[in-house]
Amino acid sequence: MKVKLGFGSIPKPQYVFVSKENDYCWYMLSDEQKQIPIYDKALTGLITGIEVNKKVETSYGEAEKTDLHILADKPYIVRSGSESYFSKSLLLSLDVLTYEQLIKPLTIAVSPGEKTIVFCTIYNPVTFRSVGVSWDGHREIDWQALGQKVSLKINNLQHKNKQHQEISNNIDMSEIRASFIAQSDLYLDQLNWSPEQGREYLQQRYGKRSRYHLSDTELLEFIDFLRLQLT
pLDDT tens by residue, 193-206: 998 999 999 999 99
Q: Which residue has the higher pLDDT, 229 or 162?
A: 229
Structure letter (DSSP) for residue 139: G
Residues 18 and 80 sit within 8 Å (Cβ to Cβ): yes
Predicted local distance difference test score (pLDDT) of residue 169: 42
Q: Which residue has the higher pLDDT, 100 or 170?
A: 100
Cα 14 to Cα 36, 150, 186: the distances in Å are 12, 22, 29
Burial letters for 104-125: b for 16+ Cβ neighbours within 10 Å, e otherwise? Answer: bbbbbbbeeeeeeebbbbbbbb
| pLDDT higher than threshold 90 for residue 231 | no
| pLDDT higher than threshold 90 for residue 170 | no
Residue 70 contacts by C-beta under 8 Å, 6 or more apart in sequence? Answer: 43, 45, 46, 47, 48, 76, 77, 78, 108
Residues 22, 194: Cα–Cα separation, whole Å: 38
Burial letters for 185-218: b for 16+ Cβ neighbours within 10 Å, e otherwise? Answer: ebbbeeeebeeeebeeebeeebeeeebeebebeb
Q: 3-7, 41-45, 213-217 — which is least confidently predicted?
A: 3-7
Q: 31-40, 82-91, 137-146 — which is least confidently predicted?
A: 137-146
Predicted local distance difference test score (pLDDT) of residue 153: 86
> pLDDT, tens digit, for every residue of 116-136?
999 999 999 989 899 988 788
Reported confidence tier of residue 224, pLDDT bands at 50, 70, 90: confident
Q: 5-14, 44-53, 109-118 — which is least confidently predicted?
A: 5-14
Predicted local distance difference test score (pLDDT) of residue 152: 85
| pLDDT higher than threshold 90 for residue 58 | no
> Hey, is 221 helix, strand or coil?
helix
Please compute the mean of the pLDDT values over residues 145-171 and round it to a whole number: 68
Please compute the mean of the pLDDT values over residues 130-147 and round it to a whole number: 86
- Percent of the residues in the chain that have a pLDDT greater than 90, as a whole number: 45
Predicted local distance difference test score (pLDDT) of residue 160: 59
> Hey, is 208 helix, strand or coil?
coil
